[in-house]
Amino acid sequence: MTTSRQTDVVARFSRRHRLHPLEALPWLLIVVSFFLFPDYLALGAQILATTLFGLSVDLVLGYAGIVTLGHAAFFGMGAYTAGYLAAHGVGAPVVGMIAAMAMAGAVGFLSGLIILRAQGLSILMLTLVVCVMLQEAANKATSITGGADGLQGMEVAPVLDLFRFDLYGKTAYWYAAIVLFLGWLVARTLVHSPFGRSLTGIRENVARMRAIGTPVFGRLLTIYTISAAMAGAAGALIAETTQLVALNAISVDLSGVILVMVIFGGVGRLYGAFVGVPLYMIAQDRFSEIDPTYWYFWIGLLLVIVVMFARGGVLGLMELLWQRLPRRRVR
């Protein structure tokens, strides 16, 4: 590839990624769903919070190329921070969320310092090990976390002192939607910035990036920390909207499931989490209602079918179908 072709690609890339009308679709769907599905708002809030979690995973997975099997460590740290504060008199959700992000980001920074020099299978295992160790610590520290029984006594105040968390989940839904929106703004800005492009470069060819003088480790650590803080925010969301935190929030199981959801949606396209998380969670909810004993089978089958038909998850599948449509313009 010659230099002029490279700048050409980059120029078209940045032109193409100004705000596209299709990007309003998720937000439209979120607003419409509130009115169409008033009985499903609790599930909706959980889906929104998990989407934020998925977005944080996509940032490191799809853009920086770090395969992580331990992101629930940050999600859980955020959840426990918000939960602990709420159980000890600091019930204001926004305060809890900021504290959660700070805590999760700090843990992300520290663990990133230790493990981000590794690659391949090693880094996967290291992220997993960090998560497992934090899970064990949470299990043991019963006085802080409540151990296996979960954190008790959370008293979450109304959001901004105005909006109480109700049984039907209305407040939870909007709170989660707004936080997700803010997270999306951050992610989108990052991804389309020079910083974001350098991450893609690192993912594609580390040696070349090093050769042109990019501080690779520094970039990776930065995105890892930001992603950890975002995951922490998602954890705080779940804690505050459900008013409980248990060990499953910091578990390897959750790390695995979120990874699967994001890959299922399609990595590295910013919207993988927006597609993969709701589809997976709704499928899981439906399957487990239809076939409570064997729904695992149907979910597994769904995953296999999606991969067999297209690489790159559901977004990849959609891209494949889009390309098959007749073109009016000659490219």
Partner 1 sequence: MDSALSAAISIAFHGTAFAMVLYLVSVGLSVTMGLMGFVNLAHGVFAVAGGYFMTTLIFGLGIPFYLAVPLAVLAVALLSVPLERFLYRPLYGASDLDQVLMTMGLVFMSVAVGKYFWGPTAQPFYPPTALSGQLEFGLRSFPAYRSFLIGSGAVLVTLLWLGLDRTRFGAQIRAAVDNRRMAQSVGINTSRLFTLAFALGSALAALGGSLGAEIMAISPSYALDHLVYFLIVVAVGGLGTIRGPFVAALLLGVSDTAFKYLLPEFGAFFIYALTMAVLLWRPRGLFGQA
Partner 2 sequence: MHMTSRFILALLSASLAGIGVAAAQTEIKVGVISTMSGPDAQPGDQMNKGIDLYVKTHAKDLPPGVKVTLIYRDDTGANPDIAKRLATELVTREHVNFIAGVVWSPNASAIAPVATEAKVPFIDMNAAAAPIPRLSPYIIRDSFTLWQVAGPIGEWAAKQGWKKGYTAVTDYPPGYDAEGGFTQSFEKGGGKVIDKVRMAFPTEDFSPFIQRIKDSKPDVTFIFVPAGKKATAVMKAWNDLGLKQAGITLVTTQDVMLDEELPNMTAVGNGIVSSGTYSAAATRPANQVFLNAWNAAYGDKAIPDFLSVQGWDGMDAIYTVIKQTGGKFDGDQAMKILTNWKTDASPRGPISINPATRDIIENVYIRRGEMVNGKLQNVEFDTIPNVKDPWKEANPPK
Residues found near partner 1 in the complex (CB under 8 A): 61, 67, 114-115, 117-122, 124-126, 128-130, 132-133, 136, 140, 252, 256, 259-260, 263-264, 267, 293-297, 299-304, 306-308, 311-313
Distance of CA 122 to the CA centre of its chain: 22
Rounded Cα distance between 223 and 213, Å, is: 18
116-151 core/surface letters (b: 16 or more CB in 10 A; e: else): beeeeeebbebbbbbbbebbeebeeeeeebbeeeeb
Rounded Cα distance between 244 and 155, Å, is: 9
Closest to 236 measured CA to CA, from 56, 326, 101, 45: 101
Query: Which of these ranges, 81-89, 97-105, 164-172, 222-230, lies near partner 2 under the rule CB under 8 A?
Result: 164-172
The answer to the question of residue 139 lying near partner 2 (CB under 8 A) is yes
- Of how many residues is the chain composed? 331
The answer to the question of residue 152 lying near partner 2 (CB under 8 A) is yes
Rounded Cα distance between 306 and 185, Å, is: 29
Candidate list 56, 68, 145, 242; residue touching partner 2; CB under 8 A: 242
Query: Which of these ranges, 24-32, 182-190, 204-212, 241-249, lies near partner 2 under the rule CB under 8 A?
Result: 241-249
Query: Which of these ranges, 42-50, 54-62, 92-100, 117-125, lies near partner 2 under the rule CB under 8 A?
Result: 42-50
Token pair for residue 103?
């805590």
The answer to the question of residue 293 lying near partner 2 (CB under 8 A) is yes
The answer to the question of residue 46 lying near partner 2 (CB under 8 A) is yes
Contact of residue 148 among partner 2, partner 1, none (CB under 5-8 Å per partner type): partner 2
Q: How far is the CB of 43 from partner 2 (least distance, A)?
A: 6
Contact of residue 186 among partner 2, partner 1, none (CB under 5-8 Å per partner type): none
Q: How far is the CB of 118 from partner 2 (least distance, A)?
A: 25
Rounded Cα distance between 268 and 66, Å, is: 11
SS3 content of the chain, % helix, strand, coil (to 5): 75, 0, 20
Contact of residue 61 among partner 2, partner 1, none (CB under 5-8 Å per partner type): partner 1
N- to C-terminal Cα distance for the chain? Answer: 20
Which residue, 179 or 250, has its beta carbon nearer to partner 1?
A: 250
The answer to the question of residue 36 lying near partner 2 (CB under 8 A) is no
Q: How many chain residues interact with partner 2 (CB under 8 A)?
A: 30
Rounded Cα distance between 139 and 75, Å, is: 16
Q: How many CA atoms lie within 13 A of 41 on its CB side?
A: 21
Which positions touch partner 2 (CB under 8 A)?
39-40, 42-43, 46, 136, 139, 147-150, 152, 167-169, 238, 242-244, 246-249, 288-289, 292-296
